[in-house]
Amino acid sequence: MVDYKNKIILAPMVRIGTLPMRLLALRYGADIVYSEELIDWKFLRSKRRYNEILKTVDFVDQTDGTIVFRTNVEEKEKVVLQLGTSDAERALKVAKMVETDVAAIDINMGCPKEFSIKGGMGVALLEQSDKAQHLLTTLVNNLSIPVTCKIRILETPEATLRLVEKFINSGIKAIAIHGRTRYERPQHFVNTDAIKYVSSRVSIPVIANGGSKEIEKYSDIMKFKELTGCSSVMLARAAEWNCSIFRKEGLLPIDTVIKDYLKLAIEFDNSPANTKYCIQNILRDLQETPRGRRFLDCQTLEQISAIWELDGYCKEKQQLYQTLGISGRWQVNPDDLQPPNKKLKLENDNINDVEQMKVCFIRANFTHSTLPKSELHSWAGKNGHKLPMYETQQVQKLFRTILTFNGKKYTSSFWEKNKKFAEQGAALVCLFYLGLKTKDDLIMLGSIINK
């Protein structure tokens, strides 16, 4: 059972708290790490799969093959899955799915964003305390792992204490308190006195949150702990900006942190988009430097790695994973995500006469160049050909387009997430067969994997 006393914790952060960042925090000295907030209905459409190649447990969205949650044995006893939910039954279903893979479950009652509030989640639960208590009690009574919640302070310390005591009666093992109200944002001062008022009057560990503005080094964490009188401290932005904040020995240079993070992102096949987002939040103002601007133009993991001289390592790992037959977004196929679809199989039988390549379309790589469809249409017009025709197939959230041009058909065997991208991917295949795009062009665009 995870112990919440006297701990330094990585807070839940959307798009930041994925596996590479959580492992980096642990290796730098964090005691407990929280996942990013994961919404119950999205989790419920996923399926658990053990990844033999990465040695991870993956929960895979069955509608498009993306990873909803990835974890491994290194963090198993220290990772807390934070759930966004407004329904006890759905929350319990999700918790049961991950019960053997995580150390604890946390219910998000602190997010003030409109998306959460409209869904009855986050701080909306604080205004429905009976419902929130029932949710927590349901989990506590049916799980073998600890249950916690994360809240914001109310208008008065007394009101906050009453709410916390009510939640404690459900049997939770700890509670994290962000020292701002639902209407306050990071520019507002954190109310350490309100947190202290509660922490000095309850029996379970209270985790103080919201102090990143004043935390620049490890010793500041201890000051925040003392100011709030809390058992433990949870860090969000301070850890997002420099994860080595958890090191008692002191902060590491930004480049060292990025390299350490990148190695983990490569090793665990993290998505390029998520990797880029995390590094952007480390670089902050440095994105405006020449190197920062080069980084912003990157779209593939290999391109990002090259900025920090890890492209060789990245290429080696990716080639190894491809050789071993890794199953990731690149390998997603509708047949793997659902029961056999007779209509799809029939359509597959009818594409034997279609020129196929595995090509994906990355929109951001065409910021300064003509889109594939526009390039193809322009070439067709200049050479007196009829414009190509596009026929798109959809299976759940996946799309594939068959392009007909000059009596021939072209398609990409990479299933895109929307119709427009599927059309652009098919156009890239056509441009390749017409000799208007080379293999090297497609590699530079991140559209094919260079094996």
| Cα 247 from Cα 353, distance rounded (Å) | 59
| Cα 104 from Cα 434, distance rounded (Å) | 55
| Cα 386 from Cα 288, distance rounded (Å) | 45
Which of 111, 230, 243, 360 is flagged as catalytic? 111
111 is catalytic: yes
| Residue 267 identity (one-letter amino acid) | E
| Cα 200 from Cα 157, distance rounded (Å) | 12
Residues labelled catalytic: 111
